[in-house]
Amino acid sequence: MDFNCCYAPHPPPSEEDPPRSRLRATTNMAASGLPQISPDKRFLIFFDFDETIVDETSDDMVVQAAPGQVLPGWLKDTYQPGQYNQYMQRVLAYLAEQGVTESQIRAVMEKLPATPGMLTLLQFLRTRPPHDFEVVMLSDANTFFVEAWLRRAGARPLFHRIFTNPANFNKDGRLVLRPFHSHDCPRCPENMCKRAVLREYVVRRAQERGRPYERVFYVGDGANDFCPATALGPRDVVFPRRDFPMHRLITEMHEAAPGEFRPVTAPWAGAEEVVQRLRKFTAE
């Protein structure tokens, strides 16, 4: 594993930066100044963040930093389906108005518990030979939440790339959240289609490497993790958290259209189960 991989964040996009262009700009790592990834990785593994790596939803937990640890009803009533990113922009603006600081928000994120067995899984990946795994985060949280937790857990160097909604503190101390991109997928929230990100990344990396990966793995839990899983092939493996929305959607698809969902499905309740499966695949 490349432990000298240091994070060089993208400069915050300007307000005029078209969200649709941000997908290509964000995934164009060669132009971004990020460290190059070794081309000899055998496997590519994607992770979701909320309720996959951490056992909570970070957007919900940030409310713990609010006065009384609650949001006013008028603010909660502004949520509209499919527009959660816009809603969280309003939540973060409200927190800033209430005097909530960067350090207070970071403290909430750092305390998020890992899902059962997840630290064991991350340690397994950390100790594998350098040519085994290319590790990528694909999350609908945001850069500040994800980075705060990973750095506190000592897991940041494990991740070669992180794709999530950009967020940075402005001069007034407000955490400004932006959508990752825009897209035309009817399944996904307006700000991120993980399938679009996954497909572009896998195609581009295959071109850079001159060959595909032996297998692609995807570890997730939510309904928005189902969409990227449908882009994977029969040698690839998805690890849906057992009885969570991703698992239920895969089960429904298997029942409604047998054979249409191509990757191998390996549900997990504890991430040690993922470790056991990965050991088998890396030994092949």
Residues annotated as part of the active site: 48, 50
The secondary structure of 146-210, three-state, reads HHHHHHHHCCHHHCCEEEEECEEECCCCCEEECCCCCCCCCCCCCCCCHHHHHHHHHHHHHHHHC
Of 190, 187, 216, 188, give the one whose Cα is nearest residue 203. 216
Give the DSSP letter of residue 219.
Answer: E
Residue with tokens 């967020």: 167
Sign of the dihedral through C-alpha 150, 156, 161, 167: positive
Residue with tokens 């698809």: 253
Cβ atoms of 164 and 27 within 8 Å: the answer is: no
The tokens of 244 are what? 């969570």
Give the DSSP letter of residue 74.
Answer: H
